[in-house]
């Protein structure tokens, strides 16, 4: 078979590195062509450039620039697809491009894309692989992934990097609609860092090149190269559509993303018949991490007034500071003016008593995770609340029915579970307690949508959907650590699988104190399946709360995550460490989740596998291209998963015992999706 990757190279060089001290400008200027594009020959040459940069200790900073007047990089050379004579050949071409751009993203140098013109498809993907993107404000400068219009999926990292950079909803909009954006719009959604007149583009790129390397987008995608191959739908070329019909992995990715898009659209429609109440006055109880974030979101996205209560002024100040910090980021990125920020901030008023809460249509409770305190707060609210006012609790684990057990009006109590960080995580679980009214459900859901969130309705139960599924996942990560697998190799295994961050980093991010509490509640509720490892307790007892106090599984400096903290092993009594077997890690952690998810569906905590998958994608960043946890499980086959769980239970104990729900489905050779 002839390989596309080895196709005839052009003679003159497309790339040139212009050195200036420790800075290298990598000029892309395809000889004899009006535009820059990645043919396989050009990609081969680019791979050579990456080799050179990997070895070159003299260059510390790289600016990628184009020698063409109004084109940065127009994309991959799509005509090459029509030359491909087999799916394998098309896949090879794609894989090589993906690997090369992935290697580029891993360079030790700071990388900046200076986008002077069209950065489309592969051009956009190369820009995404850079640490920073600076773009010209001219009309010809456009960035995006229009290849879906040609039926080609952005397989050089577009599908994985874009959602990590700008969030899933905005990324899907670009990917599925084949959108391109001008500089101003690209900056608004955070796709580029700066938009400037073409005349100063390189100067500004120099300034960005002087900044530190970004830890921002995690870049593990090498593992599943085969899964993200081009899909050629329709009939852009008869030879290609025929040749890639066998490329089922590619069409899986495409279908998964399209399904997800429709799921998101679907979740915007109200299924509950009851009319929702209008929320003119909102309240937030508890000005902690979550309360501050929720108050910010209400003031940012709605016209409702926001009243925030805590038990002392110090806590209130903390909540206001947290809210201000979120807006400040927008101001820094020039997506908002300082005046606007002040105006929005002033819309949050606060108190340490109940004054003002008698007006509230809806209050969101985000006080400490303690059922007694939550009941007390609800009791105090009911004493001053106006008739029909709704109390929505942001509890992460406690059943709504328990919180409302002594309420005078339990029909007005619902769950409204946000995820941390509130401004960035797109999911809200809206939970129905035993007595919650349909009006309360619809009002909470509608308000969550106003806040820009995707809603998944849940029935009541400890941990609801996402946290209950994450329970065994996080526990398993602890057991794996205790076995001597290194912190960084565990994280890498899951990042390579496609998770936005590994479980160790996630533990630090969520807070080990929070995790300790959640673990206790879940293990009390579910027994052996959620038996925790000793890791979380040991870290907690050692005063390691994670990122919030700069002490966790990783080392921190001024709030920034550095390398893993080697002293953790000693603390946990681990004598020798070794890198993890990534496949085994993925299997143990993912199958533990699948097992629990089967039970959640069986108990009708969530109405459908699709909604469970949506919740996991939006609430944990479960890789969208895999279609969700249950789609992934169906693809592997439940009989296989059952056999592996039986094996794992033998080896590691009861926590892997297959749930009745999973066993039943698997033994009938069933699937989650019918
Ligand atoms: N942190 C997370 O990742 C996360 C995510 C989702 C949900 N939650 C849930 O949100 C809630 C709050 O969590 P957090 O992380 O923001 O906690 P936090 O400790 O940061 O904040 C809790 C705040 O509640 C205040 N408070 C205590 N009693 C009060 C009372 N009677 N009236 C008013 N305020 C009172 C405390 O002073 C504190 O400021 C918990 O139920 C938690 O389970 C947390």
pLDDT in tens, 359-398: 999 999 999 999 999 999 999 999 999 999 999 999 999 9
Residues flanking ligand 1, CB < 6 Å: 285-291, 309-311, 315, 366-369, 373, 377, 394-396, 418-420, 510-511, 514
| For ligand 1, atom 40: residue with the closest CA | 369
Q: Is 356 left (phi over 0), alpha (psi -120 to 50) or beta?
A: left
Query: Does residue 44 have a cis bond before it (omega within 30 degrees)?
Result: no
- Ligand 1 atom nearest 289 alpha carbon: 16
* pLDDT at residue 551 tops 90: yes
Q: Could you tell me the distance, in angstroms and rounded to a whole number, from the CA of residue 90 to the centre of ligand 1?
A: 52
Contact 296, 326 (CB under 8 A): yes
- Cα 375 to middle of ligand 1, angstroms: 14
Q: Kindly give, in sequence order, each residue whose CB lies less than 8 Å from that of residue 363, ignoring residues fewer than 6 positions away.
A: 282, 283, 284, 285, 357, 381, 385, 389, 390, 391, 392
- What pLDDT shows up at residue 44? 93
136 or 670: which leads in pLDDT? 136
Q: What is the pLDDT of residue 336?
A: 86
CA-closest residue to ligand 1 atom 28: 367
Share of the chain above pLDDT 70, in %: 91
Predicted pLDDT of residue 274: 85
Asked if the model's pLDDT at residue 3 lies above 50, the reply is: no
For residues 411-419, average pLDDT:
98
Confidence tier at 221 by pLDDT (50, 70, 90): very low
Sign of torsion, CA 347 351 356 358? positive
pLDDT band of 46, cuts 50, 70, 90: very high
Give tens-digit pLDDT for 121-148. Answer: 999 999 999 999 999 999 889 999 887 7
- Taking the centre of ligand 1 as the mean of its atom positions, its distance from the CA of residue 595, in whole angstroms, is 30
- Separation of CA 369 and ligand 1 centre (Å): 6
Count of all residues that appear for the chain in the document: 674
User: What is the rounded CA–CA span in Å between residue 293 and residue 314?
Assistant: 16
pLDDT at 201 > cutoff 80: yes
Asked if the model's pLDDT at residue 207 lies above 80, the reply is: yes
Distance CA 538, CA 217 (A): 30
Q: What is the pLDDT of residues 152-181, one digit of tens each?
A: 778 888 888 898 889 888 888 888 888 899
pLDDT (average), residues 7-21: 76
| Mean pLDDT, residues 33-52 | 92
**pLDDT beyond 50 at 574:** yes
Given ligand 1 and candidates 284, 288, 292, which is best to mutate, with the most ligand atoms within 8 Å of its CB? 288
Instruction: Compute the average pLDDT of residues 448-463.
Output: 96
- CA 488 to ligand 1 centroid distance, Å: 30
Name the average pLDDT for the chain.
89
pLDDT given for residue 131 in this prediction: 96
Rounded distance between C-alpha atoms, residue 335 and residue 659, angstroms: 49
| Ligand 1 centre distance from Cα of residue 657 (Å) | 34
Does this model's pTM top 0.75? yes
Tell me the pLDDT band of 267, cut-offs 50, 70 and 90: confident
Query: Given the CA of residue 290, which atom of ligand 1 is nearest to it?
Result: 16
Catalytic residues, by residue number, are: 417
Please state which of the ranges 100-109, 326-335, 483-492 shows the lowest mean pLDDT.
326-335
pLDDT for residue 216 is more than 80 = no
Q: Which residue's C-alpha comes closest to atom 3 of ligand 1?
A: 420
DSSP code string of 310-378 = -SSHHHHHHHHHHHHHHHHHHHHTTSS-HHHHHHHHHTEEEESSSTTGGG-SEEEE---S-HHHHHHHH
Please classify residue 116 by burial: count the beta carbons closer than 10 Å to its beta carbon, then call 0-12 exposed, 13-18 middle and 19+ buried: buried
Mean pLDDT on 26-36: 93
Yes or no: say if 394 and 292 are a contact pair by the CB < 8 Å rule. no
> Per-residue confidence at 92, pLDDT binned at 50, 70, 90?
confident
Asked if 626 contacts 632 with a C-beta cutoff of 8 angstroms, the reply is yes
84 — pLDDT class (breaks 50, 70, 90):
low
Rounded CA separation 132/301 (Å): 28
pLDDT at 209 over 90: yes
Query: What is the rounded average pLDDT of the residues 14-33?
Result: 94
Show the tokens assigned to 73: 């990089």
Between residues 406 and 81, the one the model is more confident about: 406
Phi then psi for 135, rounded to 5 degrees? -135, 145
d(CA 585, CA 651): 14
- Identify the pLDDT of residue 243: 28
Instruction: Find tokens 């629990």 and name the residue.
Output: 596
165 C-alpha to ligand 1 centroid (Å): 28
The pLDDT value recorded for residue 300 is: 96
For residue 272, the number of C-alpha atoms closer than 13 Å in the C-beta half-sphere is 21
Residue identifier of the C-alpha nearest atom 10 of ligand 1: 366
Q: In angstroms, rounded to a whole number, what is the distance separating the alpha carbons of residues 209 and 115?
A: 14
Q: Which residue has its alpha carbon closest to ligand 1 atom 2?
A: 420
Residue 247 has pLDDT above 60, yes or no: no
**pLDDT value at 1 more than 70:** no
Q: Which atom of ligand 1 is nearest to the CA of 309?
A: 33
Nearest to 451 by CA among 617, 304, 341, 611: 304
pLDDT digits (tens, 9 = 90+) for 429-452: 999 999 999 999 999 999 999 999
> What's the pLDDT score for residue 95?
86
> Distance (Å, rounded) from C-alpha 483 to C-alpha 100?
34
Ligand 1 atom at minimum distance from 287 CA: 39
User: What CA–CA distance (Å, rounded) separates 151 from 234?
Assistant: 7
Nearest atom of ligand 1 to the alpha carbon of 418: 6
Specify whether the CB–CB gap between 293 and 319 falls below 8 A. Answer: no
Q: Is 5 a residue whose pLDDT tops 50? A: no
Probe ligand 1: pick from 283, 285, 286, 397, max atoms within 8 Å of CB? Answer: 286
Q: How confident is the model at residue 11 (pLDDT cuts 50, 70, 90)?
A: low
- What pLDDT shows up at residue 257? 76
What's the mean pLDDT in 586-610? 97
Is the confidence at residue 356, as pLDDT, over 60? yes
Q: Note the pLDDT of residue 604.
A: 97
Q: In the predicted model, is pLDDT for residue 222 greater than 60?
A: no
Atom index in ligand 1 nearest the CA of residue 377 equals 31
Q: How far is the CA of 344 from the centre of ligand 1 (A)?
A: 23
Q: Which residue has the higher pLDDT, 246 or 638?
A: 638
């Amino acid at each position: 078979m002839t390989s596309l990757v080895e196709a005839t190279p052009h003679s003159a060089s497309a790339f040139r590195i212009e050195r200036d001290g420790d800075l290298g400008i990598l000029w892309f200027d395809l000889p004899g062509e009006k535009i820059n594009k990645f043919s396989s020959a050009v990609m081969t040459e680019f791979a050579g450039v990456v080799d050179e940069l990997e070895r070159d200790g003299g260059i510390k900073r790289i600016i990628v620039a184009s020698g063409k007047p109004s084109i940065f990089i127009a994309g991959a050379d799509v005509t090459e697809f029509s030359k491909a004579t087999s799916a394998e050949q098309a896949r090879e071409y794609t894989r090589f491009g993906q690997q090369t751009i992935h290697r580029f993203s891993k360079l030790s140098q700071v990388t900046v894309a200076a986008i002077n013109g069209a950065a489309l498809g592969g051009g956009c993907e190369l820009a995404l692989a850079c640490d920073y993107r600076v773009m010209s404000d001219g009309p010809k400068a456009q960035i995006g992934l229009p290849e879906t219009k040609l039926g080609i999926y952005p397989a050089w990292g577009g599908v994985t990097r874009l959602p990590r950079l700008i969030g899933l909803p905005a990324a899907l909009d670009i990917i599925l609609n084949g959108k391109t954006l001008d500089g101003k719009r690209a900056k608004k959604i955070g796709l580029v860092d700066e938009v400037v007149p073409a005349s100063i583009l390189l100067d500004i790129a120099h300034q960005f090149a002087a900044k530190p390397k970004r830890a921002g987008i995690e870049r593990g995608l090498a593992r599943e190269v085969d899964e993200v191959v081009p899909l050629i739908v329709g009939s852009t070329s008869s030879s290609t559509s025929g040749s890639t019909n066998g490329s089922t992995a590619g069409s899986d990715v495409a279908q998964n993303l399209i399904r997800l898009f429709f799921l998101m659209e679907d979740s915007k429609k109200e299924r509950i018949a009851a009319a929702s109440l209008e929320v003119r006055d909102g309240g937030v109880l508890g000005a902690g991490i979550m309360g501050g974030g929720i108050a910010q979101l209400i003031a940012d996205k709605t016209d409702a007034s926001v009243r925030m209560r805590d038990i002392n002024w110090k806590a209130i100040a903390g909540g206001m500071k947290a809210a201000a910090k979120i807006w400040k980021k927008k101001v820094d990125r020039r997506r908002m003016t300082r005046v606007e920020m002040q105006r929005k901030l002033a819309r949050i008023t606060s108190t340490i008593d109940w004054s003002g809460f008698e007006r509230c249509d809806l209050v969101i409770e985000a006080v400490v995770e303690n059922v007694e305190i939550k009941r007390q707060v609800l009791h105090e609210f009911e004493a001053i609340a106006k008739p029909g006012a709704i109390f929505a609790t942001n509890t992460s684990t406690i059943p709504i029915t328990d919180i409302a057990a002594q309420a005078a009006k339990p029909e007005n109590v619902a769950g409204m579970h946000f995820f941390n960080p509130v401004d960035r995580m797109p999911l809200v679980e809206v939970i129905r307690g035993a007595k919650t009214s349909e009006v309360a459900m619809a009002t909470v859901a509608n308000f969550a949508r106003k806040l820009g969130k995707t809603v998944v309705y849940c029935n009541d139960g400890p941990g609801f959907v996402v946290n209950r599924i994450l329970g065994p996942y996080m526990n398993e990560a602890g057991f794996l650590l205790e076995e001597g697998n290194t912190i960084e190799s565990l994280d890498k295994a899951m990042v390579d699988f496609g998770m936005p961050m590994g479980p160790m980093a996630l533990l630090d991010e969520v807070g080990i104190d929070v995790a300790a509490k959640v673990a206790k509640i879940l293990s009390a509720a579910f027994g052996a399946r959620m038996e925790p490892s000793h890791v979380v307790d040991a870290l907690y007892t050692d005063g390691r709360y994670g990122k919030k106090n700069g002490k966790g599984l990783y080392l921190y400096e001024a709030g920034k995550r550095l390398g893993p903290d080697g002293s953790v092993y000693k603390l946990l009594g681990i004598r020798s460490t070794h890198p993890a077997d990534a496949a085994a890690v993925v299997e143990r952690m993912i199958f533990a989740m699948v097992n629990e998810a089967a039970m959640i569906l069986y108990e009708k905590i969530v109405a459908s596998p699709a909604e469970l998958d949506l919740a996991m994608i939006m609430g944990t960043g479960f890789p969208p291209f895999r279609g969700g946890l249950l789609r992934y499980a169906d693809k592997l086959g439940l009989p296989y998963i059952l056999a592996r769980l039986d094996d794992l239970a033998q080896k590691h104990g009861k926590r892997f015992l297959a749930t009745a729900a999973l066993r039943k489905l698997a033994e009938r050779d069933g699937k989650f999706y019918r």
